[in-house]
Amino acid sequence: MRRAAAPAYKIEVTFVRQHKFILLFLGLLVLCSVMVVREFTHDSKHVEIREAFILLHSKGYTNQAQKLYHRLLLDFQTLPNKVLLDDFQRTLLLVDPYTYQPSNLVWSYHWTISQELERRQESTLTRALKLADEQKP
């Protein structure tokens, strides 16, 4: 006597139950990979906008450079310190940081970045001092 074949949904349920940890691991791996790729594309998009801003400003396209300047200002507070430091170093080559030039957009962006980096360093220093003062029980 032959046994009747199991319905397709029971085979799928059995497969999922048997391999649930492998499937969860693969799902987590895909999710992490998507997040990493997304972060790289976000950073590269910022660098592309920054370089376009510098190019437009240096070629005299002030209206277009102004638009990119505002886009950069909208994003800079959410950027990691490394990206801000890259922006700081890139703009430092183009402007004299000790000369007040409010009409120069690159100088204005450089000054804004330097202020943000100083603000972040103060909070990082405060956190480090707090960690140093903590007593182990």
State how far the Cα of 79 lies from the Cα of 84, in Å rounded to an integer.
7
pLDDT value for 111: 94
- Close Cβ partners of 73 (under 8 Å, ≥ 6 residues apart): 109, 112
Considering the chain, what is the average pLDDT of its residues?
85
Which two three-digit tokens encode residue 59? 């070629």
What is the average per-residue pLDDT within 58-84? 91
What is the average per-residue pLDDT within 96-118? 90
The residue extents of the domains of the chain are 8-133
Type of residue numbered 13: V
- Whole-model pTM over 0.75: no
| 4-35 pLDDT, tens digit each | 565 666 667 787 788 888 888 899 999 988 88
